[in-house]
């Protein structure tokens, strides 16, 4: 095939029937608004309530920010295309999607790893917790996470778009890396190999560390003599473990399925599951299982309602 340069790409749509496109638009609009409101409430509750200015909630707030980033990278463009009956995405928009998705997804993995470390120190070494997880240490961890994610996103995005594409028809509803590599004019096996190595190392090392950390945590929990103490400790750990499981396993399943078979419908379904479900569930998991966040949310809502009533008067 001849080397071609495209100013836009064509995304895969769920349906070309106009009525179904409108239906999908409202479905994704509802999911996006629930995700947006849920994560913004978590951020607001933690930021306003000084009782939640602790390392655990600091990282939960960062997780809410990354979840908002992940879902905002692809879903608004998908809704816009359905509303305008279009499949196109400009070259620059595609670059932005790849970059910001890599950035926020890497941040998510790093955050889940740091949060596991935080819970391990709090439960297995509580007397040294304030010395280890002090304010400066948390800020340094967050800064290292954000800057390393930025570096990874720059390197991988630059590598992907340094190639020339022979087709602009992406078999996915957003600019997904494996699908973009399939459009390359060259046989980019080396590029694909190194990208998979980077993603694999980040994911597997993080996941193994998290698993080992939680094994130590559960062993420590079983040694707690009080049943109430065990329940209280598990109530702070189980939500985090659920979040990790949903994000890691759905992500590994999606990317493994992408390379094993090329079924467009299944790829779209599981990609939606991977991108939308974890950011959608995280606020509910943390608010339902965490009494302190529920109290902070009620306090924040009362303040908001009181301020609104004063403003009306």
Cβ proximity of 170 and 6 under 8 Å: no
How is residue 203 written in tokens?
A: 């994911």
Q: Render each residue's pLDDT in the chain as its tens digit; 313 residues.
A: 444 567 889 888 777 788 888 898 999 999 999 999 989 988 888 888 788 888 888 998 999 999 999 999 989 998 998 888 888 999 999 999 999 999 998 898 888 889 888 888 888 888 888 888 888 999 999 999 999 899 989 988 888 888 788 888 888 888 888 788 778 776 655 666 666 666 667 777 888 888 888 888 888 877 777 767 667 666 666 766 777 777 667 666 666 555 555 555 556 766 777 788 888 888 887 766 667 777 777 776 776 666 555 655 5
Q: Which residues of 205-226 are buried (b: 16+ CB within 10 A; e: fewer)?
A: ebbeebeebbeebeeebeeeee
Strand segments, DSSP code E, in 64-140 are: 88-90
Q: Report yes or no on whether pTM surpasses 0.75.
A: yes
Reported as a single tens digit per residue, the pLDDT across 173-206 is 888 887 887 787 766 556 666 666 666 677 778 8
């Amino acid at each position: 095939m001849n080397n071609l340069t495209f100013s836009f790409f064509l995304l895969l749509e769920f349906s070309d029937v106009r009525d179904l496109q409108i239906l999908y638009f409202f479905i994704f609009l509802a999911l996006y608004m629930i995700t947006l409101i849920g994560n913004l409430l978590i951020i607001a509750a933690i930021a306003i309530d000084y009782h939640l200015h602790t390392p655990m909630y600091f990282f939960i707030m960062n997780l809410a920010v990354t979840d908002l980033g992940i879902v905002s990278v692809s879903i608004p463009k998908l809704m816009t295309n359905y509303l305008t009956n279009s499949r196109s995405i400009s070259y620059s928009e595609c670059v932005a999607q790849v970059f910001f998705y890599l950035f926020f997804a890497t941040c998510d993995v790093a955050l889940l790893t740091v949060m596991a470390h935080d819970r391990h120190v709090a439960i297995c070494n509580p007397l040294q917790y304030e010395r280890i997880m002090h304010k400066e240490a948390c800020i340094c961890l967050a800064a290292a996470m954000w800057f390393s994610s930025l570096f990874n996103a720059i390197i991988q995005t630059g590598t992907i778009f340094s190639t020339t594409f022979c087709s602009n028809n992406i078999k996915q509803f957003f600019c997904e890396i494996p699908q973009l590599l399939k459009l390359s004019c060259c046989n980019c096996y080396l590029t694909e190999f190194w990208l998979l190595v980077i993603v694999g190392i980040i994911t597997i090392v993080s996941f193994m560390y998290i698993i080992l950390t939680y094994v130590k945590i559960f062993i420590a929990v079983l040694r707690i003599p009080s049943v109430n103490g065990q329940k209280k400790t598990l109530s702070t750990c189980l939500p985090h473990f659920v979040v990790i499981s949903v994000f890691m396993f759905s992500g590994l399943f999606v990317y493994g399925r992408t390379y094993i078979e090329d079924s467009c419908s299944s790829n779209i379904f599981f990609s939606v599951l991977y991108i939308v479900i974890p950011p959608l569930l995280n606020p509910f998991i943390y608010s339902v299982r965490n009494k302190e966040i529920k109290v902070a949310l009620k306090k924040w809502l009362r303040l908001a309602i009181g301020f609104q009533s004063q403003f009306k008067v």
